[in-house]
């Protein structure tokens, strides 16, 4: 009896651990807006179904049908028995008899990557020509890799997809697409509202003025000259810091770093300026490694993005915090801008 019970327990456990192969297909393979799309559930097991169609609609039927009202590319997800591990996701492109273009995102902010895709119903595989452009005030087209309020990130405007980001907040950012299909030309022009977004920035002081440069991950705006001096720069200094309740001063650190000129401490690393450039070391002085051999006039740390910024004769540079115990780093410093004569730097993490 005990053996039988044990065997049943093992069988039940194996059945419970059995993987569900979640999958589905849809028909027709190239649906048009307004046409019913049938989704066939091919999952190996399950009793409850949850469908999301990518346009806000949902279903709990096993094999439902759905009508897309607008052309575009949608992400369809099937979840079985409310288990996150039992899901399948596929993209479906819904066409229209009139060419158009779509973007997976419905809201837009500055310095965020977006992909726009042409949606062209072409069942007979005719040759298609694409040209993305920014609508001009007069006749013709305008589109270069860098435009007044958008930057293309893949340099070509003659593909079915366009990758770009917006550099200015606007209520009427325009993007056009010309499609030539089997000799017929279609012009699609749309207008988007581009909003501001939260960010941080780097402040820079020269003899002539203060500047602010906003940082967006791996992107950055152009330095903006400020009309008045920034309080953060006035207060910024790199000769005194309290770190983990210990006080560090320039004079005290000279016993370990004899020619130190300025410093900042973060994550048990000390970044410091010397007569022969920018250096990093462990907080106890071990593993002193040179980051930049050029004369370093100013430096600051951005705790939000874990970056160090410094100024030399060529401009302002940055790189991620050094993370290794021996302070060896593989990231090559990158130039933020070519401002000359920067004497102070500060990171502002409250910028909008």
Per-residue pLDDT in tens (0 to 9) along the chain, 352 residues: 444 544 444 444 444 445 779 999 999 988 988 889 999 999 988 999 999 999 999 999 999 999 998 888 999 999 999 888 899 999 999 998 889 999 989 999 999 999 999 999 888 889 999 999 888 654 445 555 456 788 888 878 899 999 999 999 999 999 999 999 988 899 999 999 999 988 899 999 999 999 999 999 889 999 999 999 999 998 888 999 999 999 999 999 999 999 999 999 999 999 999 999 999 999 999 999 999 999 999 999 999 899 999 999 999 999 999 999 899 998 899 999 999 999 999 999 776 6
* Helix (H) or strand (E) segment spanning residue 109: strand 108-109
Q: Are residues 320 and 223 in the same domain?
A: yes
Q: Are residues 166 and 88 in the same domain?
A: no
- 255 to 203, 235, 245, 259, 272: CA distances (angstroms): 31, 26, 20, 9, 14
CATH of the domain at 64: 2.60.40.10
The pLDDT score that the predictor gives to residue 181 is: 92
In this structure, the answer to whether residues 209 and 317 fall within a common structural domain is yes
Number of domains in the chain: 3
Residue 16 lies in a domain: no
Tell me which residue range forms the domain holding 163.
102-195
- Regarding whether 342 and 276 lie in a shared domain, the answer is yes
- Strand 114-119: give its sheet, edge to edge: 100-103, 114-119, 161-166, 150-152
Q: Is residue 264 part of a domain?
A: yes
Q: Are residues 205 and 327 in the same domain?
A: yes
Q: Which of 39, 73, 94 is the last residue of a domain?
A: 94
Pair 180, 205 in one domain:
no
Does 157 share its domain with 67? no
Residues 48 and 68 in one domain: yes
Q: Looking at the structure, do residues 48 and 179 belong to the same domain, yes or no?
A: no
Total-model pTM = 0.69
What are the C-alpha distances in Å from 135 to residues 154, 174, 327? Answer: 20, 6, 51
- Do 125 and 49 fall within a single domain? no
* Residue 266 within any structural domain of the chain: yes
Q: Which pLDDT score, from 0 to 100, does residue 2 have? A: 47
Residue 43 lies in a domain: yes
Kindly state whether residues 331 and 318 are assigned to the same domain: yes
224 in the same domain as 171? no
């Amino acid at each position: 009896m005990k053996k039988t019970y044990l065997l049943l327990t093992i069988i039940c456990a194996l059945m419970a651990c059995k993987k569900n192969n979640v999958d589905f297909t849809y028909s027709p393979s190239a649906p048009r807006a307004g046409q019913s799309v049938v989704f066939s559930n091919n999952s190996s097991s399950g009793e409850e179904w949850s469908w999301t169609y990518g346009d806000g609609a949902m279903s709990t039927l096993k094999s439902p049908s759905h009508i897309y009202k607008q052309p575009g590319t949608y992400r369809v997800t099937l979840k079985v028995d409310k288990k996150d591990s039992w899901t399948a996701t596929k993209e479906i492109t819904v066409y229209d008899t009139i060419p158009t273009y779509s973007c997976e995102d419905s809201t837009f902010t500055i310095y965020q990557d977006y992909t726009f895709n042409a949606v062209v119903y072409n069942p007979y595989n005719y040759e298609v020509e694409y040209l993305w452009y920014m609508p001009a005030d007069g006749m013709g087209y305008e589109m270069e890799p860098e435009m007044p309020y958008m930057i293309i990130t893949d340099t070509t405007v003659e593909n079915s997809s366009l990758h770009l980001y917006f550099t200015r907040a606007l209520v009427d950012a325009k993007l056009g697409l010309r499609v030539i299909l089997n000799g017929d030309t279609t012009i699609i022009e749309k207008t988007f509202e581009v909003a501001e977004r939260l960010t941080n920035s780097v402040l820079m002081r020269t003899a002539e003025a203060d500047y602010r440069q906003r940082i967006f991950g791996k992107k950055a705006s152009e330095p903006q000259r400020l009309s008045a001096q920034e309080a953060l720069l006035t207060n910024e200094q790199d000769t005194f810091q309290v770190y983990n309740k210990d006080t560090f001063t320039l004079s005290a650190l000279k016993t370990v770093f004899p020619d130190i000129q300025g410093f900042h401490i973060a994550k048990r690393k000390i970044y410091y300026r010397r007569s022969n450039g920018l250096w990093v070391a462990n907080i106890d002085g071990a593993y002193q490694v040179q980051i930049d051999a050029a004369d370093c006039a100013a430096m600051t740390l951005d705790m939000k993005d874990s970056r160090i910024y410094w100024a030399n004769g060529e401009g302002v540079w940055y790189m991620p915090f050094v993370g290794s115990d021996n302070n060896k780093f593989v990231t090559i410093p990158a130039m933020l801008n070519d401002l000359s004569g920067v004497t102070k730097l500060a990171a502002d993490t409250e910028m909008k």
